[in-house]
Amino acid sequence: MSVTQVPRGLAGVVVADTEIGDVRGREGFYHYRQYSAVDLAHHRRFEDVWHLLVDGELPDAARAETFAAETAALRRLPAEVLAALPALAGAGGRSGPLAGMRTALSLLGAAKGFRPVYDLSAAERRQDALAAAAAVPTLLTALYRLGKGLAPVEPREDLSYAANYLYMRTGTEPDARRTRAVEQYLISTIDHGFNASTFTARVIASTGADVAACLTGAVGALSGPLHGGAPSRALDTLDAIGTPDRIDAWIRERVLAGDRIMGFGHAVYRTEDPRSRMLREVAQDFGGPRVAFAVEVERQVEAILAELKPGRELHTNVEFYAGVVMELCGLPREMFTPTFAAARVVGWSANILEQAADSKIIRPAARYVGPAAPVAVPPARILGRT
């Protein structure tokens, strides 16, 4: 097969079939299996959606409780991993918990004896995927607390995924309102098509590697600021603008300079990002000056972008209001991207399981654009010889 055209970033190139979900960018709609992801965020628990992605269906009440208990029992870390976390937290420095988690996931896989998915049954792969995903919030919060000189907080099996995550960060049981807001954010970001981190996880899974290796690669992809690192940068923009009277001048200066406005625009959506719309509603339920300012910034930025970049649909993406919501719920900015990872690990796991069922390795071609070949290799003087 001859390669005649390679879209930048492989945009629009179909590389696999999936039953996990889809993103319909021109419609401003995305779904997990046959259900609207936004509807799921409005009406279901995080564990229910986890069950949907991994086991293929929404659970009934009895199965939901069984699955929640099954995953909650997997939250504790092996002793070998716990012993290594202080060093990882100390080495992470300004890189934060996500950097430490890359290494911790590898250690977790070794400590739990994860084997290549190629050698496992479907049930064994599922067990490894659940064990790894359930441990991620424990890893992230422990690394965060250790980095602050605080002891990790043991997970609780009687709390939901979202409530336990917030509890392990602070040591205090969170209130129901903030727990539900974080849960809605987590559900809305579990999966989102073949984004960079999900594709990375699937490429590694196609080699038959173990679940921890697949997830470690996905975390590496997520750490890039063009992927998962924008929620805090969007809040930085709000801070830099400062007051409503500065919005117009500040934004115009950046747009005319060719700078990217963090929290605006998306690689797939050509209309409003449905995740942003939902999280705006979540933020507005809290209310307050910070939310009102964010809404006004959104309004003016969209008007300025429409004026200066006519013909382009540029709206807020998930990162813009994600930062606002997480701030309202007491999460520090260095935990924004880790919180995203605590959600996306479930989507990565589902994709790993789906890819592992296909024994074909992902091995695309590249189009060579270097100097013409073959060219004779010129002789070189070898040391010690004349």
Please tell me the distance from the alpha carbon of residue 317 to that of residue 284, in angstroms, as a whole number.
16
Q: Which residue reads 């995550």 in tokens?
A: 165
Q: Tokens for 207, please give them.
A: 């080699």
Q: Which residue reads 């972008």 in tokens?
A: 305
Q: Which of 214, 237, 346 is nearest to 301 (CA)?
A: 237
Identity of the residue numbered 294: A
Q: Which of 349, 317, 320, 357 is nearest to 336 (CA)?
A: 320
Identity of the residue numbered 199: F
CA 264, 266, 268 angle in degrees (round to 5)? 160
Neighbours of 292 (CB within 10 A): 13
Q: Tokens for 96, please give them.
A: 């934060």
The residues carrying an active-site annotation are 266, 319
Please tell me the distance from the alpha carbon of residue 126 to that of residue 107, in angstroms, as a whole number.
19
Q: Tokens for 276, please give them.
A: 């942003």
CA distance between the termini of the chain? 47
